[in-house]
A and B are shown apart, each in its own frame.
Chain A
Amino acid sequence: MTTTPTSRFADTRPNPWVTFTLRRLGRLTVSLAVLITASFAMIHLVPGDPVRAALGVSASPELVEARKHALGLDRSLPDQFGSFVAGLLQGDLGESIGAGMPVAEIISDRLPSTMQIAAIAFVTTIVVAVPLGMAAGVFTRHGRRRRLELAFVGATSVVAVLPEFLLAVGLAAIFGAQLGWLPVALKDGPESYVLPVLALAIGPVAALSRIVRVETLRVLDEDYMRTARAKRLPTRILYVRHALPNLLTSSLTLGGLMLAGLLTGTVLVENVFAWPGLGMTMVQAIIQKDYPLVQGVVLVYGTLALLINFTVDIVLAIADPNSTIRES
């Protein structure tokens, strides 16, 4: 090979993987910085005096002042921000005004309950939506079973627009109140998980299975499926071995994108089922104007959402390197 002017640069061209990961890490860092700044600023942005609001109108001015001092709210803003960030680095999220307990303690107490239902709901979504969408695709292929197609598309589009909290209320009314099959409040035995998980998962199942159906229709028309048919393989192998892996990447992409939304959906669902998680803590704290606690929960929810999206990005890049890296 002769030396062309461009070949001198070939060696110094950065590895696309490194660029990709660095970019995503950069984006994550910026987002985290914004999140931390915003949650710090929140307590100063709320209308009125947050401490007065939390302690109530009857509290004496001395008590309010003392509390402010204890929370460090009487210091200069840069000073406060400095100690806020320093505290964060040590896992210190400040102290709840209402409960008088460290925020970090309350959160580590409540977080597992939220993560449990979110994780179970996510797994349920994937496990149900992929086979459901695939079956719908196979059965309604080539415009067959027009009625089934209509019913599927109609039902999933109605369900997909239902918000979690309404689903939750409906589920509680039917399975809890009318039929009495399942508990409608509080975290207890395994059966108490059923309704919160259903409320979280039903919407994503509907949305994802629609997409899986469309993907299935696309994959079934690919040339390699014709090859597989030409090999006269049994139907089961045709769909499971040849079609499924090819629609998994796109399905998981969308599933992953739904994960962060599913996590924040716990805020509403937990409040319907009195589920002792982060979401219920957050709403109570907002109503009680316990701002340090709100701050902590917003930080945790936000960080989790950012981390989930970051992980999904990286996992997808590994699963489907060409498309992801080219796109960035």
Chain B
Amino acid sequence: MSFTQRLRRTLRTPLGIVTMFAVFVLLVVAIIGPIFWQDTADRVDTTAIGRGGSAEHWFGTDALGRDIAARMIVATRLTLELTLGAVVIGGVGGFVLGTLPTVLGPRLARLVTALVNLLIAFPTLLFVLFLAIVFGVGTHGAVLAIGIGIVPTFARLIQNLAASVAGSDYVASARILGVGRFRLIVRHILPNIAEPVALFLFQAGAGILLAFSGLSFLGLGVQPPDYDWGRLLNEQLNRVYTHPESAVGPAVAIVLTGLAFNLVGEVLSQAGGRRGLRTAADRDHRATVPAPSDDPNGTAGDGTGPAPLLEVDRLRITFPGGHVAVRDVSLSVAPGEAVGIVGESGSGKSLTALAVAGLVPYPARVTARSITFDGVDPTAGARLGTSLSMVFQDPMASLNPALTIGRQLSEVAEVHLGHNRTQAMKRAVDRLRAVRIPDPEHRSGMRPSEFSGGMRQRTMIAMGLMGEPRLVIADEPTTALDVTVQAQVLALLRDVRTKSGAAVLMISHDIAVVSQVCERVMVMYAGRVVEELPTGDLVTGTAHPYTRALIGAVPDMTTDRGLPLVTIAGRPPGPGEDTPGCPFAPRCELATDRCHTDEPALERIDAARRVACWHPVITPPEARIETE
């Protein structure tokens, strides 16, 4: 859509209509005002001196009995003319100064830039007052002073814009073609910066109008017998006690006109497409009850082993616009068990973890038939205390840069365990030592920026251990780390588990990482669990083609390094790309017609394994090679 089209569309919005109306009224008043009201405005009436507002004189009369309303109307033209004059001076001056660096050689260019920087250091008002004095108090001096007053700011804007355009390919190629500097500005740079420049000039127009009124108000601008709105305000100010309407009238005229200028700027910037309109879909974030889907075959924990610590039944996470990021995922974690969730980015694995902790970011919507952790629903605002803790990926971003490490740890104990500050800090130091941070007393006083990546990640784990967690959710805990540190952190997580007896739910894109900590692995693809199996079966007992491909794609101890890595051709479906049938079908080597039409459900194949595939590769247990 071209600028003109967008402008036309913007003008049809309420904002555009108000703006056009305001501009129209201003122009009409400025043109016809002096024609019709000049006489009334100049008529001295000694019988009506200094009157207040009335039906006859809306804003009262001045010290000579002249009607203030009429004078305001007449003053519109001069006020706008002076503003326009200053805008032109400032615009031309700023443009020349701003484009000079592009035209001049590098040395002179630096000089001009330095000059602009120097002038910008002074407050505009002071600069304008100085110029007003130098040019002589009066209308001409004020126009010049204010016009030149905005030159530094405008020149800076043009310089920045021109510099950004000048660096672009088409200007570079024009330069190579030998286009002259002046022509370069007119033909290539100017058209590309016209929009922001026009916007700035209108906003500056508002500023100039107000500045001019300010100068006249101080008695330094328009001098009698001429008058603009500022001058009228100056004359009426001492009557603010007796007849405030006389002073407020011109003030309101100034403000409204200033706003009108800003409105024009706003319309231009909207037409320029700088501010996109929000789509209606974004607004709807209220939860609605999901349509219950068909019951999958329960979770792996059902009937076997102890009562689960965490049980999630048909979790569904949707985004506005209908994208389902997590589709009816059910999982359970037994006390002390370590479960991994593996998948590519976008598979919904991290969202699943966040949903368990009740931390799914806006605007996603979480629904589930039930989520139970330790007997309560963690998403319903139940007080979890410290029984569930989270270790996030990217510990640089996940630790607060403004607080010391010790503080970020100790507050957990203060808030949840009722420790006082000293006790809490002692515990923090203790936990830092437990995750093998050297010299924890000293280091607890540092900020995250002073820590290495590995230390930060260990700090995150220590933070999770400040309470007495029964479940630690670790979301990509080793992604940002190099291999050695990664191994240390994984060892630490295993250690934590054995020492504290907490269950672990570990999320990773790396199946090798997960298999080092977890007993059971769930593989997610396109928001669904496609396979669930014991870690021991990963090498030889995988049933789902996707899992098999993943194993092939990840080099581990058993991979023959001499062979090329198996990569999975294609990519997972993006948001909104929901196709019927198996989501993996477009990338699957075993796909049949049925795979493209019917979606396979997650079916149990034996006591420990479930798979969602029409053609799973079933390896009998005898044929599996036991690892570990």
On A, residues with C-beta under 8 Å from B are 27, 30-31, 34-35, 38-39, 42, 45-48, 141-143, 146, 157-158, 161-163, 165-166, 169-170, 172-173, 176-178, 184, 221-224, 226-234, 237, 241-242, 245-246, 260-261, 263-265, 267-268, 271-272, 282-283, 286-287, 291, 294, 298, 301-302, 305-306, 309
Q: Provide the bound-state CA to CA distance between A53 and B463, in Å.
A: 76
A42 touches B134 (CB 8 A): yes
Q: Kindly supply a per-residue 1/0 record for chain B positions 274-303, scoring 1 wherever the CB is within 8 Å of any chain A CB and 0 otherwise.
A: 000010001101000000000000000000
B282 is contacted by which of A143, A165, A309 (Cβ under 8 Å)? Answer: A143
State whether A47 touches B255 (Cβ < 8 A): no
Closest Cβ neighbor of B254 among chain A residues: A166
How far apart are A318's CB and chain B's nearest CB, in angstroms?
14
A190 CB → nearest B CB, Å: 21
The residue that A169 contacts in the complex, of B124, B251, B282, B411, with Cβ under 8 A, is B251
Tell me if B411 and A46 are in contact (CB < 8 A): no
Are B133 and A286 closer than 8 Å at their CB atoms?
Answer: yes
The answer to whether A166 and B415 touch across the interface, beta carbons within 8 angstroms, is no
B418 within 8 A of A: no
* A163-B214, A165-B214, A226-B361 given; 8 more Cβ-contact pairs under 8 Å: A163-B211, A172-B240, A231-B389, A232-B383, A246-B402, A268-B218, A283-B220, A298-B126
Number of contact residues on B: which range applies?
35 or more
Complex-state Cα separation, A172 to B137, whole angstroms: 27
A271 near B218 (CB under 8 angstroms)?
yes
Residues of B with C-beta under 8 A to A38? 130
User: Is there an interface contact between B217 and A165, defined as CB atoms closer than 8 Å?
Assistant: yes
Whether the Cβ atoms of B118 and A34 lie closer than 8 Å is: yes
A264 & B248 in contact (Cβ 8 Å cutoff): no
Determine if B564 is an interface residue (Cβ-Cβ < 8 Å).
no
Contact (Cβ within 8 A) B218 A45? no
Q: Given that A166-B255, A227-B398, A228-B400 are known contacts, is A298 also in contact with B130, CB under 8 Å in the complex?
A: yes
A161 to B262, CA, bound (A): 9
- Chain A residues with CB under 8 Å of B254's CB are 166
B392 within 8 A of A: yes
Most buried by B among A170, A230, A242: A230
A184 near B219 with CB under 8 A, answer: no
Q: Which of A157, A163, A169 contacts B240 (CB 8 A)?
A: A169
Are A242 and B233 in contact, CB atoms less than 8 angstroms apart? no
Interface string of B217-259 (1 = CB under 8 A from A): 1111000000000000100010011101001100100110011
Asked, given contacts A142-B362, A242-B403, whether A227 binds B251 with beta carbons under 8 Å apart, the answer is: no
Q: Find the residue from A141, A161, A231 having the highest chain B CB count within 10 A.
A: A231
Among B125, B130, B217, B390, which residue has the most Cβ atoms of chain A within 10 A?
Answer: B125
Q: Which residue of B lies closest to A34 (CB)?
A: B118
Q: Which residues of A contact B460 (CB under 8 A)?
A: 227
Is A184 touching B240 in the complex (CB atoms < 8 A)? yes
Which A residues lie within 8 Å of B126 (CB)?
Answer: 264, 298, 301-302, 305
**4 A-B pairs closest in CB distance:** A245-B402, A223-B397, A173-B244, A142-B362
Q: Which residues of B contact A (CB under 8 A)?
A: 117-118, 121-126, 129-130, 132-137, 206, 210-211, 213-214, 217-220, 233, 237, 240-242, 244, 247-248, 251, 254-255, 258-259, 262, 278, 282-283, 285, 357, 359, 361-363, 383-386, 389-390, 392, 394, 397-403, 411-412, 415-416, 460, 463
> Shortest CB–CB separation between residue A302 and chain B, in angstroms?
6
Report whether A305 and B122 are in contact in the complex, using a CB–CB cutoff of 8 Å. Answer: yes
Name A180's closest neighbour in chain B (CB-CB).
Answer: B241
B259 with A264: CB separation less than 8 A: no
Return the chain B residue nearest A162 by Cβ. B255
Given contacts A230-B389, A237-B415, A246-B401, contact A42 B363 (CB under 8 A): no
Q: A142-B363, A287-B137, A287-B219 are in contact. Are A227 and B392 (CB under 8 A)?
A: yes
Q: In the assembled complex, which residues on chain B have CB atoms less than 8 Å from the CB atom of A237?
A: 411, 415
Q: State the CA gap A301–B262 with chains docked (Å).
A: 30
B121 CB contacts on chain A under 8 angstroms:
27, 31, 305-306, 309
Instruction: Return the chain A residue nearest B242 by Cβ.
Output: A177
Is A268 touching B217 in the complex (CB atoms < 8 A)?
yes
Residue pair A166, B210 in contact (C-beta under 8 Å):
yes
Q: Which residues on the B side are within 8 Å of A161 (C-beta)?
A: 206, 210, 258-259, 262
Instruction: Report whether B241 and A231 are in contact in the complex, using a CB–CB cutoff of 8 Å.
Output: no
* Cβ contact within 8 Å between B390 and A230: yes
Q: Say whether A42 contacts B133, CB under 8 Å.
A: yes
CA distance A157 to B259 in the complex (A): 10
In the complex, which residue of chain B has the Cβ closest to the Cβ of A39? B130
Alpha-carbon distance A299/B403, docked complex (angstroms) = 42
Output the nearest chain A residue to B261 by Cβ-Cβ distance.
Answer: A161
Asked whether A283 lies within 8 Å of B219 as measured between CB atoms, the reply is yes
A sample of 20 inter-chain contacts (CB < 8 A) reads A31-B118, A142-B363, A143-B285, A166-B251, A169-B237, A169-B248, A177-B244, A222-B397, A223-B398, A224-B399, A230-B392, A231-B415, A233-B411, A233-B412, A261-B124, A264-B125, A267-B125, A272-B237, A286-B220, A301-B123
- Asked if residues B397 and A224 are in contact (CB atoms below 8 Å), the reply is yes
Pick from B123, B214, B251, B397: contact of A268, CB under 8 Å: B214
- Contact between chains at B285 and A263 (CB < 8 Å): no
Max count, chain B CB within 10 A of own CB: residue among A161, A227, A260, A268:
A227
CA distance A43 to B140 in the complex (A): 19
- Quick one: which of A141, A158, A233, A261 contacts B259, CB cutoff 8 A? A158
In the assembled complex, the Cα of A283 lies from the Cα of B125 at a distance in Å of 13
For A158, give the chain B residue with the smallest CB separation: B259
A208 to chain B, nearest CB (A): 17
Q: Are B218 and A223 in contact, CB atoms less than 8 angstroms apart? A: no
Q: Is the CB of A230 within 8 A of B357?
A: yes
Given known A46-B133, A242-B400, A242-B403, contact A173–B248 (CB-CB < 8 A): yes
Q: Which residues of A contact B383 (CB under 8 A)?
A: 232
> Do the beta carbons of B123 and A263 come within 8 Å of each other?
yes
Is the beta-carbon distance between B251 and A224 smaller than 8 angstroms? no
User: For residue A142, which residues in chain B have a CB less than 8 angstroms away from its CB?
Assistant: 285, 362-363
Contacts of B217 in A (CB 8 A): 165, 268, 271
- Contact residues in A for B416 (Cβ distance below 8 Å): 232
Whether A223 lies near B394 (C-beta < 8 A) is yes
A227, B459: Cα distance in complex, Å: 12
Q: Whole-angstrom distance from the CB of B42 to the nearest CB of chain A?
A: 25
- Whether A163 contacts B400 in the complex (CB less than 8 A), given A38-B130, A184-B240, comes out as no
Nearest opposing residue in chain B for A245, CB measure: B402
CB distance from A210 to the nearest CB of B (A): 14
A46 and B259 contact, Cβ closer than 8 Å, known pairs A231-B412, A245-B402, A268-B218 = no
